[in-house]
Every structure is written in C-alpha cells, then in structure tokens.
C-alpha cells in the first residue's frame, strides 16, 4: 500500500483513486442498465478497474474490450483482470481513441471515463469515431470529473487553487467555452446522437478515514493542483502546504470532522437506428 505522501507513478495514482471513485462509477454503470450479454468498449480504460466493473454488469455472456494507448496501464489491467475471476469476460489491447482499431458497428455500447473529450479538446471528432464503432441503437457514455471540495473550511483558498491550476478540473485555459466538458450535450447533438442526456453522481468521504482513503486523498491533492505555486501568493501557498502535507501539525486529513465530496458527470446518447 502506498504511504500518505501518495504514489510515485501515475499508474499508482490511478490505483489509489479507485478507493474514492469506485462507488461513484458503480452507480453510473447501474444507471446505464447495460443489457445482459452485451459487448462493450471501455475507451481509454487506464488500469482496467472500470472494465472489470462493466464486465460484472453484463453477466458471464457479455464481454468488455478495454483500449488504452499506455503499455504500462494495459500491463496493470491484464494483471488485475487475471486476479479478478473475470478475465474471460474482458480483453485489453493497445490503441488510440482518435483512430479506434475496430470495424464499424462493432459494439453494443461504448464507455469512456476521464478520456474522450476530457477535460477539453477534439470532442466532436472523437465522438464521431465512437459513433462509427457503435451498433445502430447502441449507447455511448462519457464521464468526467466535474467538481470537488477537498479543503473543508477553506473554500476561498480552494477556489484560488482551482483558478491557479486546472489539474484534473474540467477546463483548460485558452479553449473556447463550447469545447469544455460541461458543454458535452452540444457535442452529442453535433455528432447526431438521439436525445442526449446528462446525470451527475456524487461521491463523499468523511472522518474517520481508512488508510487507503487517506492515501488516495493525498494523491488527489497532487493531481488537482500541480504547479499551482507560481500563480498563488506566498501566503496562499504556505496555507495550502500547511493543510496538505502529512507531516504538518495542521494536516487537514487529521481533522476529526473532515468531510470532502466530488462529482462525476455522465453524458449519454443513442446512435440512430
């Protein structure tokens, strides 16, 4: 298990993040009501943890293909699947979501978390590629981290941190407003999806924290606000260091009343038949 200073690699950070994200992701999958026995694609599957949740949802007759461009992520995904008892329901392969290595109309549904269109980018063109490999009448769902409140009692400091550094927030400086993730309903309409919808799922944690959740939160601090120091006042940066460092006597995760929350938003649409 990683210590409270977080992890050394992004792969480890993804592993830790699942101690926070898994309950939220499970609820999102349940909301999709994936058909039993269906065939799906996890586009940008990372270390494969969500592919396994999806495989569990589609029953033994279903199958999930996980695709990612990172060999390190895929190696961890294969290892995790081998230990899960679900290895026959999942497979993983290397590929780019911009040019999916699949034939037209290959999948009953497509799923992507913190990847397609996130935080901002070539949204419509990526959705067009997802549409291509989805069967007529099939579903495409993209999810993205949409907000967080991690420093209870320090809302102004957290707002300044968010303004200084986007980190994993759903925005990128310099991008047009319509390209940002919260505008994804427009992307779905532009890609020709029928009746696109959006739903937000809330995750929360509170004291007392398990060791795993503490480590995940420390890692999340690093992921949210990397490089924020250059845009903060010395006073704000010192306050953040005082609150976020495990060795600090004021480490915020030691509060007996610590509480934090975050949200994931899921945009969905159906391909026309």
What gap in Å lies between CA 143 and CA 28, rounded to an integer?
Answer: 9
The Cα 54–Cα 200 span in angstroms is 19
Sheet with 259-270, side-by-side order of all strands = 90-94, 63-68, 39-43, 107-113, 134-149, 259-270, 194-206
d(CA 267, CA 227): 30
One pLDDT digit (tens) per residue for the chain, 273 residues: 233 333 358 888 889 999 999 999 999 999 999 999 999 999 999 999 999 999 999 999 999 999 999 999 999 999 999 999 898 999 999 999 999 999 999 999 999 999 887 766 667 788 999 999 999 999 999 999 999 999 999 999 999 998 887 667 666 777 788 888 899 999 999 899 988 999 999 999 999 999 999 999 999 998 888 888 888 999 999 999 999 999 999 999 999 999 999 999 999 999 998
DSSP string, 202-267: EEEEESSPPHHHHHHHHHHHHHHSTTGGGGS-HHHHHHHHHHH-TTSTT-GGG-TT-EEEEEEEEE
Q: Are strands 134-149 and 259-270 parallel, antiparallel or unpaired?
A: antiparallel
Distance between CA atoms of residues 37 and 102, nearest Å: 19
Residues belonging to the chain: 273
- CATH of 10-146+170-206+262-270 among 3.40.50.150, 3.40.50.300, 1.20.1530.20, 1.20.58.110: 3.40.50.150
Residue 89: cis peptide before it, omega within 30 degrees of 0? no
């Amino acid at each position: 298990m990683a210590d409270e200073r977080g992890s050394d690699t992004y792969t480890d950070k993804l592993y830790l993040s699942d101690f926070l994200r898994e309950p939220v992701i499970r609820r999102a999958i349940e909301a999709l009501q994936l058909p039993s026995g269906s065939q799906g694609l996890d586009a940008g599957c990372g270390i494969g943890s969500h592919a396994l949740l999806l495989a569990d949802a589609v029953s033994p007759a279903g199958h999930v293909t996980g695709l990612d461009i990172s060999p390190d992520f895929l190696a961890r995904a294969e290892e995790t699947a081998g230990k899960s008892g679900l290895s026959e329901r999942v497979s993983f392969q290397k590929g780019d979501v911009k040019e999916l290595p699949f034939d037209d109309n290959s999948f009953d549904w497509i799923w992507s978390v913190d990847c397609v269109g996130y935080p901002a980018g070539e949204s419509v063109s990526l959705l067009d590629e997802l549409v291509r490999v989805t069967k007529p009448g099939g579903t495409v769902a993209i999810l993205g981290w949409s907000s967080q409140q991690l420093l209870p009692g320090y809302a102004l400091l957290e707002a300044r941190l968010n303004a200084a550094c986007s980190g994993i927030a759903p925005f990128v400086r310099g991008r047009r407003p319509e390209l940002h993730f919260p505008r994804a309903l427009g992307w779905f309409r532009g890609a020709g999806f029928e009746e696109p919808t959006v739903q937000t799922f809330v995750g929360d944690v509170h004291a007392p924290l398990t060791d795993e959740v503490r480590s995940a939160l420390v890692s999340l601090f690093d992921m949210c606000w990397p490089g924020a120091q250059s845009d903060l006042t010395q006073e704000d940066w010192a306050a953040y260091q005082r609150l976020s460092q495990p060795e600090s006597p004021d480490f915020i995760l030691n509060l007996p009343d610590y509480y934090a929350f975050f949200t994931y938003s899921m945009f969905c649409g159906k391909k026309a038949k």
